[in-house]
Structures are given as structure tokens and as C-alpha cells.
Amino acid sequence: MNSKPVRLILLLCMLVSAATLEAQDLNYLYKAGEEGYSCFRIPSIITTTKGAVLAFAEARRNNCGDAGDIDLVVKRSSDDGKTWSALQMVWSDSTNTCGNPAPVVDQNTGKIILLTTWNLGTDHEKDIINKTSKDTRRIFILSSDDDGLHWSGATDITADVKDSNWTWYATGPGRGLQISRGKHKGRLVVSTNHITGDTRQNYCQAIYSDDGGIHWNGGNVTKQDSVNESTIAELSKGRLMMNMRNASKKRTRQVAISKDGGINWSDIKADTTLIEPVCEGNLLQYRYPGKKEALLFCNPASTSSRTQMTIRVSYNDGKRWAAKKLLYAGPSAYSCLTVLPNGNIGCFYEAGLQKAYEGIVYQEISIEDINTTD
């Protein structure tokens, strides 16, 4: 008997078994096809001052595309992500697109401010960029004064932060921050990106509030273009780092530094360690009593595909990434991180067995686990 077919069958069985186990191990917080929605995308996660964990997502009603009937939803945990509430609607505007959640917590008041974008459900990104859309991309804020249990209506701040010559515009996606030290201590900062109307160049920018999220201003745009979908974290001495997706397909993340609270940015430089397949990534400052401060970064660490969801840690403001941990080797895309009340890290990312958009997964790890795993 020829043993080659037998070995081939055994190998296929092992692969199927491994793939099945891998799929079962994915802890879906949102799963495509459930709760009346075809798809969930664009994860965003924060920890409130009272210790609740809020996991936001775009709930896409009819398909997984970026346009159409899209609502903003949230699930809430009060036990470090062990159990979660039912899906809660944050903002729905008929069949229009409410997306790109970018929440930030005011540590002084406990108030949660949610930055988001809106467009008509019938207007697609290419139409907005080509100026053939019926409306444009608009920016709104919502807020919660009761730890995420209830949310205000949406307030349009487009005129305050978006230039009239810009077409496409996006908040985050991910999560904003509050500066904790230095001259601009207390400032709320959220990263954004846009496309210019005439030249169609991609730039990033921070928008900020110095009055607890009531009024918002736009800082200056990055000195160079070909960047989008940015994330910001605080470094030592109150400086900020903006980490950006590379729109020119060079397969490495781009970074810039601000010394004035997000108003101006240094020249953009490539971080060659942080490879990417051209996809969103998330940057987070790690702080917890009794543990060393660190900078965390999470993204699909591949230059060829949206796979290999990886978290990295740096102890010198991103100059060198000391260690990394592979969270999931399979299809994976957008992600967001938060520091949990117990000091561990909540990792919230898109993943699936066949494609990255089968759902959004929640995973908890310790920073020591990153240090000991490469």
C-alpha cells in the first residue's frame, strides 16, 4: 500500500483539527451575522475611571462594506472583561453611516467623550473624495456622564476641526488620551486623518480640547503626507507620539513627535521594526502602580497580509521594541488596547478563521507575558 496518500490524509486532518481548535479559541465579543447585523468592524476599547471596560464597534447592518447603514454600539464589562453586557446602541441615524469610534476619558471628571464621523449612507468614500457625493464627511461628539450606561445625542463639530478644502476625514480609529503631565496636563487629544480636496494628499492631525471635551480645536497637520489612520500615545515628559498607517504602501509604520500637546509635529520617520500590511494599528501608554511604564503597540505584523496579530512593548519611548507576543496567527486586522483595572492588558481585535472580519475578539494578557514571549 502506498503510504503517501495516507500521510497526506493524516496531515489534512491535523490541519483541519488545528484550524477548528484555533477558531474555537477566539473569544468573540461581536460576531458577524449576530444581533441583527451582517458585520462588526473598527474596534475601540477604553477603561473608565470607575473601572468599567467599554468595547465599541461599528455595527454594519447589511454587509461588511464601509458605507451604508452603520450604527455605533458598545458592550460593557465591570469585571475586567470576564462578562459583558448586552449590545447597547450608542448612535444610530436611520440608514446613514455612524462610524470610526474614538473615545477618550476625562480622568478629572470621569466623563467619557466619544469622537466619531458621519456621512450619508448612500455616499461612498470615493464619492466624497471625488466631490460627487450629496453630502460630506462630518465629525460629531457624544458623551456619557454615568460611566457609559447612557449617551447624549450627537453634536456636530465639523466646522471647528475640519478645513473646508478637506474631503474624506476620519477620527482615529482607536482611542484618544488625556495628557497626564507637563504644560498641557489635562488636555484631551484624539488623532484624525484627512484627504485634501485639490491634491488628494493624505495627512494626519490631532484635535484637542482644553475644557473637558466641550470645545474642540484642530492642531497643525503632519509635515509630510501619505499617512492615514493614526493613533497617539503619551511619552515621557508630556511629549506625544503619533503612529500612522503608511498610505504609500511602504509596509512600515510612520511616526512623528509633538512637544506642544499635539499642535505641531516633527518630521515623519519610519519605524522599521513595526512592519504592516497597510492596516490600522494601536499605540498605548502602559501605566500601573508598582509596574514599569511602557509603550505598547498592536497590529497585524506582516508585510504581505492581514495576519499575525502581534503586541509589542518598549521601555524607552519606542526607540527600541524590547519584546513581542503573537496574539493570533490567522486572519486579523484592526485592533485597540486598554489597561485593565487589574493591571493586565485588554486586547480587542478583528479576527477570523477564513477572513479577518468574522468578528471582534477580546483577549486579556499580562505585560509580563509579552516580556517572556518572543
Residue 22 lies in a domain: no
Among 117, 132, 161, 121, CA closest to 262:
161
Q: For the chain, what is the domain count?
A: 1
Q: Average model confidence (pLDDT) for the chain?
A: 93
d(CA 232, CA 228): 12
Query: Bridge-partner residues for 250, per DSSP?
Result: none
Query: Which helix (H) or strand (E) segment is 310 a member of?
Result: strand 307-314
d(CA 182, CA 184): 6
| pLDDT at 250 (0 to 100) | 82
Please report where in the chains the cell 490524509 appears, as a residue: 9
d(CA 223, CA 306): 28
pLDDT tens-place string over residues 320-334: 999 999 999 999 999
| pLDDT at 2 (0 to 100) | 55
pLDDT tens-place string over residues 44-71: 999 999 999 999 999 999 999 999 999 9
Segment 275-283 shows an average pLDDT of 97
Among 229, 214, 228, 187, CA closest to 100:
229
Q: Is the pLDDT of residue 366 over 50?
A: yes
Angle (CA) 140 142 144, round 5°: 170
Domain that holds residue 138: 33-371
Q: Is the pLDDT of residue 345 over 90?
A: yes
Its pTM stands at 0.92
pLDDT tens-place string over residues 88-112: 999 999 999 999 999 999 999 999 9
Q: Is the pLDDT of residue 21 over 90?
A: no
Residue 21 lies in a domain: no
| pLDDT at 237 (0 to 100) | 86
Q: What DSSP state is assigned to residue 236?
A: G
Kindly report the CATH number assigned to the domain that includes residue 355.
2.120.10.10
Q: What DSSP state is assigned to residue 152?
A: P
More confident of the two residues 73 and 23 = 73
| pLDDT at 18 (0 to 100) | 40
| pLDDT at 17 (0 to 100) | 38
| pLDDT at 372 (0 to 100) | 54
Among 118, 64, 62, CA closest to 90:
118
Residue 15 lies in a domain: no
Query: Which helix (H) or strand (E) segment is 160 a member of?
Result: helix 158-161
Instruction: Answer for the pair 286, 233: CB distance below 8 angstroms, yes or no.
Output: no
Query: Which helix (H) or strand (E) segment is 42 a member of?
Result: strand 39-47
Segment 282-287 shows an average pLDDT of 97
| pLDDT at 247 (0 to 100) | 81
Residue 5 lies in a domain: no
230: Cβ–Cβ under 8 A, 6 or more apart, which residues?
Answer: 172, 191, 192, 193, 204, 242, 243, 244, 245
Residue 6 lies in a domain: no
Instruction: Answer for the pair 333, 357: CB distance below 8 angstroms, yes or no.
Output: yes
How many CA atoms are closer than 13 Å to the CA of 336, on its beta-carbon side?
29
| pLDDT at 3 (0 to 100) | 52
Instruction: Answer for the pair 241, 296: CB distance below 8 angstroms, yes or no.
Output: no
d(CA 346, CA 362): 7
pLDDT tens-place string over residues 199-227: 999 999 999 999 999 999 999 999 999 99
Angle (CA) 8 10 12, round 5°: 70
What is the percent of the chain where pLDDT is above 70?
93
Segment 159-178 shows an average pLDDT of 97
pLDDT tens-place string over residues 223-254: 999 999 999 999 988 899 999 999 877 899 99
Three-state secondary-structure class, residue 78:
coil
